[in-house]
């Protein structure tokens, strides 16, 4: 296949559109799963529910609690979707990357860590006990998933001998990384759910704390947080394709279509996992994260390093 190259400047504008489309697809699929569990028929209205919910939040009144730190809260709220789009800049679509940085993997990681601060700010700034608890829960969650996540990224970089995402895709010509780095792939999928505070990792926005970080946000603020969450999940799914599933490589179809199909498949898997699980208690997950996932991902990195050195 043709190697991934740096796209023209205008391709940066395509990133939010493509990412938004993927995120919307994921959100619609989640609604379909909800409707099936409810025993409702899956109609056009169910598929379009994320769009109509967006409209609803656009007209809804914004609100703020007395003595809330509005600047801090709104900075956090805006940062969530912005971080998602920035993270997706380095993800190649087909054989074009909007921004093929030499440190693309580190950039993705850094943008995703921005959401830690963003979510904490969005929670703390509302001057609500639920927001505060939710914000801190996300920091705890970050400490639990981040190291396995980083070791998974390091494994990929080691295998490719580069931190550039296009090099990673090129290195998978012939053998996808998922085949010989299954542990890293699994760790990446787990952290994809965790970094987008979705599904079993929704402690920051759980119903047990009345929505946590989301508890006091309404209107546009809420929309940005919810959309940001879906954008993050979509960005992580698209990144998983570039890092582990050979990017746009595949028979017959054009590379951009393979990217879309694979990203949609990974996103679908994540959404399905999200719907099938209960929220993981972080005091339990932190044990698994540090006692099981870190040793396993380290071992995976070691195996890959030995293979590369030989």
- The contact set with other proteins (CB under 8 A) reads 33-35, 37-40, 45-46, 49, 52-53, 55-56, 58-67, 127, 129-130, 133, 136, 200, 202-203, 206-211, 214-219, 222, 275-281, 284
**14 vs 210 by CB, closer to other proteins:** 210
DSSP symbols for 88-140: HTTSEETTEES---TTHHHHHHHHHHHHHHHHHHHHHTTT-HHHHHHHHHHHH
Those residues whose C-beta lies under 8 Å from the C-beta of residue 276, and which sit 6 or more positions away, are: none
**23 vs 304 by CB, closer to other proteins:** 23
Q: How far is the CB of 64 from other proteins (least distance, A)?
A: 6
Residue pair 242/100 in contact by the 8 Å Cβ criterion: no
Q: How far is the CB of 116 from other proteins (least distance, A)?
A: 18
> Considering only CA atoms, which of 230, 182, 160, 187 is closest in space to residue 4?
160
Three-point CA angle 222, 225, 229, nearest 5°? 140
Q: How far is the CB of 205 from other proteins (least distance, A)?
A: 8
> Considering only CA atoms, which of 179, 187, 176 is closest in space to residue 144?
187
Q: How far is the CB of 159 from other proteins (least distance, A)?
A: 31
Q: How far is the CB of 283 from other proteins (least distance, A)?
A: 8
Q: Give the pairing of strands 5-6 and 96-97.
A: parallel
**14 vs 47 by CB, closer to other proteins:** 47
In angstroms, the first-to-last Cα distance of the chain is 26
**14 vs 32 by CB, closer to other proteins:** 32
**5 vs 63 by CB, closer to other proteins:** 63
**168 vs 280 by CB, closer to other proteins:** 280
Q: How far is the CB of 67 from other proteins (least distance, A)?
A: 4
**167 vs 221 by CB, closer to other proteins:** 221
**33 vs 305 by CB, closer to other proteins:** 33
Q: How far is the CB of 192 from other proteins (least distance, A)?
A: 17
Provide the 3-class DSSP secondary structure of residue 247: coil
Q: How far is the CB of 186 from other proteins (least distance, A)?
A: 16
C-alpha span between 83 and 236 (Å, rounded): 12
Q: Cα–Cα distances in Å, from 197 out to 111, 165, 193, 247?
A: 15, 24, 6, 25
C-alpha span between 196 and 198 (Å, rounded): 5
């Amino acid at each position: 296949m043709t190697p991934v190259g740096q796209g023209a400047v205008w391709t940066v504008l395509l990133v939010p559109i493509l990412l938004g489309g993927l995120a919307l697809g994921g959100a619609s699929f989640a609604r379909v799963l909800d409707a099936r569990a409810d025993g409702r028929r899956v109609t056009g209205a169910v598929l379009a529910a994320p769009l109509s919910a967006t409209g609803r939040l656009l007209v809804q009144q914004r609100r703020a609690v007395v003595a809330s730190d509005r600047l801090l809260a709104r900075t956090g709220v805006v940062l969530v979707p912005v971080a998602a789009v920035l993270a997706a800049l380095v993800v190649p679509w087909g054989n074009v990357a909007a921004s093929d940085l030499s440190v693309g993997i580190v950039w993705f990681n850094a943008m995703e860590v921005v959401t830690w601060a963003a979510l904490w700010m969005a929670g703390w700034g509302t001057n609500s006990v639920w927001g505060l608890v939710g914000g801190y829960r996300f920091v705890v969650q970050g400490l639990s998933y981040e190291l396995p996540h980083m070791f998974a990224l390091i494994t990929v970089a080691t295998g490719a001998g580069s931190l550039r995402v296009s090099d990673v895709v090129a290195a998978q010509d012939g053998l996808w990384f998922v085949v010989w780095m299954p542990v890293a792939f699994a760790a990446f999928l787990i952290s994809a759910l965790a970094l987008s505070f979705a599904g079993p990792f929704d402690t920051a926005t759980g119903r047990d704390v009345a929505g946590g970080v989301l508890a006091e946000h309404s209107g546009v603020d809420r929309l940005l947080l919810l959309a940001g969450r879906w954008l993050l999940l979509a960005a992580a799914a698209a990144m998983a394709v570039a890092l582990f599933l050979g990017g746009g490589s595949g028979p017959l179809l054009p590379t951009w279509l393979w990217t879309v199909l694979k990203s949609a498949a990974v996103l679908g898997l994540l959404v399905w996992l999200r719907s099938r699980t209960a929220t993981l208690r972080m005091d339990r997950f932190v044990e698994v994260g540090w006692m099981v996932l870190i040793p396993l991902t380290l071992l995976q990195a070691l195996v890959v390093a030995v293979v590369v050195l030989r």
